[in-house]
Amino acid sequence: MATKYDDKLRHGVDLSQSLVGKAVIVTGGFGGIAMATNEIILQKGGHLALVYPPFEQERVHSALDQLDAQEGGKFSQCVECFCCDITIPKDVEETLQKILRRFSNVDALVNSAGYVHLEPAIDVTFEQWQKQIAVNLTAPFLVCTAFARQLIENKRAGKIVNIASQAASIAIENHLAYTSAKAGLLGMTKVMAYEWASHGINVNTVSPTVVLTPMGEKAWQGEKGENMKSKIPMGRFAYTDEIAAAILFLITNGSDMINGADIMIDGGYTIY
Ligand SMILES: NC(=O)c1ccc[n+]([C@@H]2O[C@H](COP(=O)([O-])OP(=O)(O)OC[C@H]3O[C@@H](n4cnc5c(N)ncnc54)[C@H](O)[C@@H]3O)[C@@H](O)[C@H]2O)c1
């Protein structure tokens, strides 16, 4: 006779990780990791609301062309772009309303916007501190809460993935403000995960090592990068699609029991 603990019971994990009928918001939507994530979301049949800052306006067309080239031009119908400085509360609220008018329901949010400025701790100015906290911590706070509010009001489940960093968990020189923001992001994610679980909202972080993007290059080119690589047990930096693959897992139902976790994608950098 079947019991509650019947090991033949199944949750119904969708191993195809289909996103057909789902819409996903991606902030920093034209960044390196975001673009790889966008491609995978589109391949899985999802729709995209890409949020980008005013200073990136001229990238819209080339980014859309890049996505469109993926599968013979059909993707442009599935993608909408929204210009917003996500560090400004009013702009975030207005943008979310615009996104909801376009997509009616949104199922997942990926916070990929980020900014780093490297300098010794002793030299960090108040302005730089404020900017890195604003983009890496305050903006995810604003976007996550605006998104969760509409999910809860509409009694809909959802998934949130915040991109943190290995720097959130381990000291890396010249990363004072960035590390402070990303470590805050880990803590913020856990509290959101705890409070919103009863509404069916999963909130998690992924924490990459150096990724092959403009941001990775800015921080780790040359000898400094080679030195860093030698400390990563896997002996290399991460590709953008390796981060995107983890994000896909976290926004599909195979991860429904993962909540408040930080998925390290660091080739083992933080294990010793
Ligand atoms: N590349 C790495 O080595 C690495 C490592 C660990 C974590 N990360 C994190 O991954 C995420 C994506 O990084 P990436 O490497 O793709 O960087 P990227 O520089 O390619 O993309 C970051 C994006 O954030 C956007 N952004 C910056 N300020 C913004 C604002 N005020 N409003 C809206 N958008 C804004 C930028 O326009 C850019 O498109 C970031 O959160 C970053 O901190 C990156």
Rounded CA separation 87/106 (Å): 21
Angle (CA) 60 106 112, round 5°: 50
Is 182 in contact with 116 (CB distance < 8 Å)?
no
pLDDT at 77: 79
Q: pLDDT by residue (tens digit) across 54-104?
A: 999 988 888 888 888 876 666 777 999 999 999 999 999 999 999 999 998
Q: Ligand 1 pocket, 115 CB below 6 A?
A: yes
pLDDT at 72: 63
Phi, psi of 108 (to 5 degrees): -150, 155
pLDDT at 2: 63
Rounded CA separation 17/199 (Å): 22
Write down the mean pLDDT value for the chain: 95
Residue (of 260, 207, 259, 196) closest to 238 by Cα position: 207
Q: Ligand 1 pocket, 140 CB below 6 A?
A: no
Q: Which residues are catalytic?
A: 178
Dist. CA 102 → ligand 1 center (Å) = 25
Q: Is the CATH number 3.40.720.10 carried by domain 23-264?
A: no
Give the H or E element holding residue 61: helix 60-68
Q: pLDDT by residue (tens digit) across 183-221?
A: 999 999 999 999 999 999 999 999 999 999 999 998 999
Residue (of 75, 73, 72, 91) closest to 83 by Cα position: 91
Residue (of 171, 159, 189) closest to 250 by Cα position: 159
Average pLDDT (248-263) is 98
Average pLDDT (226-247) is 98
Q: Ligand 1 pocket, 267 CB below 6 A?
A: no
Q: Name the DSSP letter for residue 27.
A: E
Ligand 1 atom closest to Cα of residue 182: 43
Query: Taking the alpha carbons of 53, 250, 242, 267 in that order, is the dihedral positive or negative?
Result: positive
* Residue 25 β-bridge partners: 49, 109
The residue behind tokens 């009616």 is 104
Residue 243 burial by Cβ neighbours in a 10 Å radius (0-12, 13-18, 19+) = buried
Angle (CA) 241 131 116, round 5°: 35
Dist. CA 216 → ligand 1 center (Å) = 9
pLDDT at 20: 97
pLDDT at 1 over 80: no
Residue 271: which pLDDT band, with cuts at 50, 70 and 90? very high
What pTM does this model have?
A: 0.97
Dist. CA 5 → ligand 1 center (Å) = 44
Q: pLDDT by residue (tens digit) across 126-178?
A: 999 999 999 999 999 999 999 999 999 999 999 999 999 999 999 999 999 99
